[in-house]
């Protein structure tokens, strides 16, 4: 593509997702507030809409404190190493019809490679602060991120299998037709897609260090984890990097499971494709905020056990269910669709229930307080 | 089943979110200082002195008996009696305070002074926005700053004020009846044994006057 | 020369990072420089239009192996050990000789191979679908063997990290009051 178009893409992505970052911070605070029976911030502008400006001024004018025993170079580089690769993630996401910055044959692999590359920055941040809370937080963060990469990647394997390509534009194209003449063939509307989407959402929440998986930066637990020694603009950069990672993985979820830029019903396909992408994106961000308002934080051992002993087996079983769906596609008898749905749902559902039961460890016995009786 | 509790949690927060736009019950925030919670009748912050009528000096109920000064636990009340006496609501001459100071930075809002006052003259106020920019001069309140009219007392503590007003009116009626009986007895020829006057009447409020100046 | 500039800069960066990884005093700095050299290698792969290998290099090496190295350093307190005097080995010349032999054994086939003269093409010669097909048909045996090897490594890791069952003489009774339980805790 010509350099002009490339520059337009770069500027566009940075402008759009930069302002999306600002909007998301205020939307999140207000939505969290409403879900917690209170107003969000509503003092700065009308309905608090200028709150991100106030936050920006605060972050920029804060003193940049670097601990005297910290590793100066690593402490300085860590926010940059975190934030810079995250912008690359947006290059492969198809935002609309023929609106994609880079068409890679292995676009999905590129996406996951970049997500993995930014994990090293977390370690750099935690270690360079020479602070035991930071180091502990960094190690927990990396353990969590590595553990949840496996279900994240495995849950997308089903989509790749069914679309037959790692290229994100091909995956969106595979969801382009409309079943029954009106309902879109999103991957969400298949049993393996539904289960895969759920698993993807859980793994994505954990990858972005969001509640209920926000133990690394647990605000009430470990001071601020690997962010403890960062103040001012560097903290803002970490914040930005985290939210951009969230946007990237949300965009990926929309692309893989929600049909990318396709409209949900054929009647509404006249609206511009970027609008549909943005609408689904906003809905998914709302789901993330909703999860943050609802669920308590998981402890580290619960977190890791959940990843390795529950999510990974389920994603593998999901692959088997997708295979069953694919190989039963030639069934043409009456009620074939319902049978396929029931079969795939059973393939996923029975292990889900059984794993859920066996991993719960039974309800805790009633405590007996000998001295209180 | 695994996940049922999570679904229930999501439904609850969704109801909170949706309900916060419709019902007050789901959005319980009071945006101080634009909105204020109404305080219950028995709320107490610091004391004030009640006066009847329009003149704070003449209508002040306080008779400088110093019971509140003695009962106050942190001893924040300072009273100096005046030599001049003034009549109370039934006409009996009572003492009055020349100086009545309360240090509200010491006052702990216990309300004991209001409980023990026999003349219903010191009651608990509900003003709490008392912060000041100066450190020394603003927290020692004098008699003039503490005196507030009976209408204010009625607005703050309706049932208490109603009971007090009723009692003072009753006492005033009894005192007037007694005065008429004494005047009639003085006008009539003196019988050998004159009936003893009863115990000194309590101090009722002159309610009929207030009925005219009612809000 | 100018057309080789991307390759030359990547190569120089990779070599510098590798040398730094060997010579720096601080062990964590060495690990991070090793990660930088991995990234440089990935850049070289991408310049050769080998998309899959390049992205896989980043995903596996920078994303997992570097973190593994870093974790190892942290868990074994390697960062506490300060680099002291350079070690003078008694078999220095023998070591140098063996290193020279190994280097020549590696360099000789590379210089004689025919793929040195291949030019990179604009379209990737190895689209991912083709790689997948070949992996599943022609090279399925090495693939499965690597899978077995990785499983063995995983099991080994789990065995090493597994805590041994503690041998307790007096089992803690959960029905007792908490204070007594604390005194009995092993």
User: Could you give the 3-state DSSP secondary structure of residue B21?
Assistant: coil
CA angle B142, B143, B149 (to 5 degrees): 130
**Who among A36, A294, A353 is closest to B1 (CB)?**
A353
Residues in chain B whose Cβ is within 8 Å of chain A: 1-3, 6, 9-10, 12-14, 16-17, 20-21, 26-29, 31
Q: What is the pLDDT of residues A246-266, one digit of tens each?
A: 999 999 999 999 988 888 888
User: Chain B closest CA to A128's CA: distance in Å?
Assistant: 38
pLDDT of residue A126: 85
Asked if the Cβ–Cβ distance from A37 to B20 is below 8 Å, we say yes
Alpha-carbon span C37 to C17, nearest angstrom: 5
Q: If residue A3 lies in a helix (H) or strand (E), which one and from where to where?
A: helix A3-35
What is the mean pLDDT of the segment spanning C5-32? 91
Report the half-sphere exposure of A55 (CA within 13 A, side-chain side): 18
User: Chain B closest CA to A37's CA: distance in Å?
Assistant: 4
Output the pTM of the full model: 0.82
Q: What is the pLDDT of residues C46-73, one digit of tens each?
A: 888 888 899 999 999 998 899 989 888 8
Residue C42 confidence class, pLDDT cut points 50, 70, 90: very high
**Who among B9, B10, B20 is closest to A34 (CB)?**
B20
Alpha-carbon span C103 to B103, nearest angstrom: 92
Q: What number of other Cβ atoms are within 10 A of residue B53's Cβ?
A: 16
Phi-psi region of A164 (alpha: psi -120 to 50; beta: other; left: phi over 0): left
Alpha-carbon span A199 to A155, nearest angstrom: 6
pLDDT of residue B106: 92
Q: Is the pLDDT of residue C175 over 50?
A: no
Residue C184 confidence class, pLDDT cut points 50, 70, 90: very low
CA angle C166, C168, C171 (to 5 degrees): 120
Which is higher by pLDDT, B179 or C184?
B179
pLDDT of residue C177: 44
Asked if the Cβ–Cβ distance from C58 to A113 is below 8 Å, we say yes
pLDDT of residue A349: 92
Chain B residues in contact with A352 (beta carbon < 8 A): 2
pLDDT of residue C114: 81
pLDDT of residue C166: 63
Alpha-carbon span A34 to A27, nearest angstrom: 10
Residue of A nearest to C39 (CA): A117
Alpha-helical segments (H) within C76-127: 92-112
**Residue A302 near chain B (CB below 8 Å):** no
Instruction: Return the closest-CA partner of residue A242 out of A15, A16, A21, A10.
Output: A21
Q: Are strands B46-51 and B147-149 parallel, antiparallel or unpaired?
A: parallel
Q: Do chains C and B touch (3 or more CB pairs under 8 A)?
A: no
B103 φ, ψ to 5°?
Answer: -90, 105
Residue C185 confidence class, pLDDT cut points 50, 70, 90: very low
| R_g (Cα) of chain A, nearest Å | 22
Longest dimension (CA), chain C: 80
Asked if the Cβ–Cβ distance from B16 to A35 is below 8 Å, we say yes
Instruction: Please state which architecture CATH assigns to domain B46-150.
Output: 2-Layer Sandwich (3.30)
Asked if the Cβ–Cβ distance from C67 to A371 is below 8 Å, we say no
What is the mean pLDDT of the segment spanning A160-189? 85
Asked if the Cβ–Cβ distance from A35 to B29 is below 8 Å, we say no
Instruction: Return the closest-CA partner of residue C32 out of C59, C3, C61, C8.
Output: C61
**Residue A304 near chain C (CB below 8 Å):** no
Residue C186 confidence class, pLDDT cut points 50, 70, 90: very low
Instruction: Return the closest-CA partner of residue A168 out of A260, A76, A297.
Output: A260
Instruction: Return the closest-CA partner of residue A108 out of A296, A251, A291.
Output: A251
User: Could you give the 3-state DSSP secondary structure of residue B77?
Assistant: strand
Q: Which two tokens stand for residue A262?
A: 């396709």
Q: What is the block-wise mean pLDDT of chain B (215 residues), using blocks of 10 residues?
A: 86 91 84 87 92 88 92 94 87 90 92 93 91 87 92 92 92 90 81 54 50 43
Residue of B nearest to A43 (CA): B31
Q: Is the pLDDT of residue A116 over 60?
A: yes
Instruction: Please state which architecture CATH assigns to domain C1-81.
Output: Up-down Bundle (1.20)
User: Could you give the 3-state DSSP secondary structure of residue B134?
Assistant: coil
Q: Is the pLDDT of residue A236 over 50?
A: yes
pLDDT of residue A165: 87
pLDDT of residue C26: 83
Residue C41 confidence class, pLDDT cut points 50, 70, 90: very high
Q: What is the pLDDT of residues A2-39, one digit of tens each?
A: 889 999 999 999 999 999 999 999 999 999 999 998 88
Contact at 8 Å (CB) between B102 and B110? no
Q: Is the pLDDT of residue A326 over 70?
A: yes
**Residue A113 near chain C (CB below 8 Å):** yes
Per the DSSP assignment, residues forming a β-bridge with B124 are B47
Mutation choice for A interface testing from B4, B5, B17, B31 by most A CBs within 10 A: B17
Asked if the Cβ–Cβ distance from B27 to A294 is below 8 Å, we say no
**Who among A106, A112, A127 is closest to C52 (CB)?**
A106
> What is A274-317 written as a DSSP string?
HHHHHHHHHHHHHHHHHHHHHPPPPPHHHHHHIIIIIIHHHHHH
Alpha-carbon span A244 to C55, nearest angstrom: 20
pLDDT of residue A310: 92
Residue A164 confidence class, pLDDT cut points 50, 70, 90: confident
pLDDT of residue A87: 93
């Amino acid at each position: 593509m010509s350099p002009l178009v490339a520059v337009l893409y770069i500027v566009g992505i940075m402008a759009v997702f930069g302002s999306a970052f600002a909007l998301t911070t205020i939307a999140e605070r207000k939505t969290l507030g409403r879900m917690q029976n209170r107003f969000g911030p509503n003092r700065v502008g009308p309905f608090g809409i200028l709150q991100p400006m106030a936050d920006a001024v605060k972050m920029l004018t804060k003193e940049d404190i670097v601990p005297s025993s910290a590793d100066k170079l690593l402490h300085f580089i860590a926010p940059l190493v975190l934030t810079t690769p995250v912008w690359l993630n947006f290059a492969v996401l198809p935002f609309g019809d023929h609106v994609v910055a880079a068409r890679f044959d292995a676009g999905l692999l590129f996406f996951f490679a970049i997500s993995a590359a930014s994990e090293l920055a977390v370690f750099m941040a935690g270690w360079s602060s020479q602070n035991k809370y930071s180091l502990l937080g960094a190690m927990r963060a990396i353990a969590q991120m590595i553990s949840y990469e496996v279900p994240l990647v495995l849950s997308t394997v089903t989509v790749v299998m069914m679309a037959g390509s790692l290229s994100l534009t091909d995956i969106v194209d595979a969801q382009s037709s409309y079943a029954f003449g009106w309902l879109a063939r999103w991957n969400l509307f298949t049993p393996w897609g539904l289960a895969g989407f759920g698993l993807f959402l859980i793994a994505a929440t954990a990858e972005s260090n969001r509640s209920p998986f926000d133990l690394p930066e647990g605000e009430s637990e470990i001071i601020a984890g690997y962010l403890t020694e960062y103040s001012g603009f560097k903290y803002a950069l970490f914040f930005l990097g985290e939210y951009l990672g969230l946007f990237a993985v949300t965009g990926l979820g929309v692309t893989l499971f929600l049909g990318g830029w396709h409209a949900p019903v054929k009647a509404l396909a006249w609206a511009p494709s970027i609008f549909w992408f943005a609408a689904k994106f906003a809905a998914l961000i709302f789901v993330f905020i909703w999860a943050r308002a609802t669920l308590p934080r998981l402890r580290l051992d619960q977190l890791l056990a959940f990843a390795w002993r529950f999510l990974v087996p389920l994603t593998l079983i999901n692959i088997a269910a997708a295979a069953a769906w694919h190989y039963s596609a030639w069934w043409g008898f009456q009620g074939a669709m319902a049978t396929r749905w029931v079969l795939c749902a059973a393939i996923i559902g029975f292990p889900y229930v059984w794993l859920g039961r066996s991993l719960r460890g039974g309800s805790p016995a009633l405590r007996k307080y000998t001295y209180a009786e | 089943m695994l996940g049922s509790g999570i679904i229930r949690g999501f439904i609850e927060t969704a109801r909170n979110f949706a309900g916060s736009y419709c019902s007050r019950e789901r959005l319980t925030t009071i945006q101080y200082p634009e909105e204020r919670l109404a305080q219950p009748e028995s709320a107490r912050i610091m004391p004030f002195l009640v006066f009847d009528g329009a003149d704070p000096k003449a209508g002040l109920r306080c008779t400088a008996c110093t019971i509140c000064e003695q009962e106050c636990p942190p001893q924040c009340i300072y009273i100096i009696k005046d030599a001049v006496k003034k009549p109370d609501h039934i006409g009996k001459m009572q003492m009055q305070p020349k100086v009545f100071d309360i240090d509200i930075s010491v006052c702990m809002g216990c309300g004991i002074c209001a409980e023990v006052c026999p003349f219903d003259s010191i009651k608990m106020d509900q003003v709490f926005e008392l912060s000041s920019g100066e450190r020394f001069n603003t927290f020692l309140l004098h008699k003039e700053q503490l005196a507030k009219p009976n209408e204010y007392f009625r607005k703050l503590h309706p049932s208490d004020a109603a009971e007090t007003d009723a009692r003072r009116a009753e006492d005033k009626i009894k005192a007037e009846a007694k005065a008429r009986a004494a005047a009639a007895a003085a006008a009539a020829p003196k019988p050998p044994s004159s009936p003893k006057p009863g115990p000194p009447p309590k101090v009722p409020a002159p309610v009929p006057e207030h009925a005219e100046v009612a809000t | 020369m100018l057309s080789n500039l991307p390759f030359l800069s990547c190569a120089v960066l990779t070599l510098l990072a590798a040398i730094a990884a060997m010579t720096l005093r601080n062990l964590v700095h060495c690990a991070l420089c090793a990660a930088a050299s991995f990234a440089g290698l990935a850049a070289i792969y991408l310049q050769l239009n080998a998309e899959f290998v390049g992205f896989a290099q980043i995903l596996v090496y920078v994303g997992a192996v570097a973190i593994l190295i870093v974790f190892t350093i942290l868990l074994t307190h390697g960062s506490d050990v300060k680099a002291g005097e350079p070690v003078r080995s008694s078999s220095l010349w023998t070591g140098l000789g063996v290193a020279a032999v190994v280097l020549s054994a590696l360099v000789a086939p590379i210089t004689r191979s025919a793929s040195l003269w291949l030019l990179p093409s604009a379209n990737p010669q190895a689209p991912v679908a083709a790689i997948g097909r070949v992996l599943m048909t022609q090279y399925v045996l090495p693939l499965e063997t690597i899978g077995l090897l990785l499983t063995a490594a995983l099991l080994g890791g789990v065995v090493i990290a597994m805590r041994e069952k503690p041998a307790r003489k007096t089992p803690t009774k959960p029905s007792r009051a908490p204070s007594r339980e604390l005194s009995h805790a092993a």
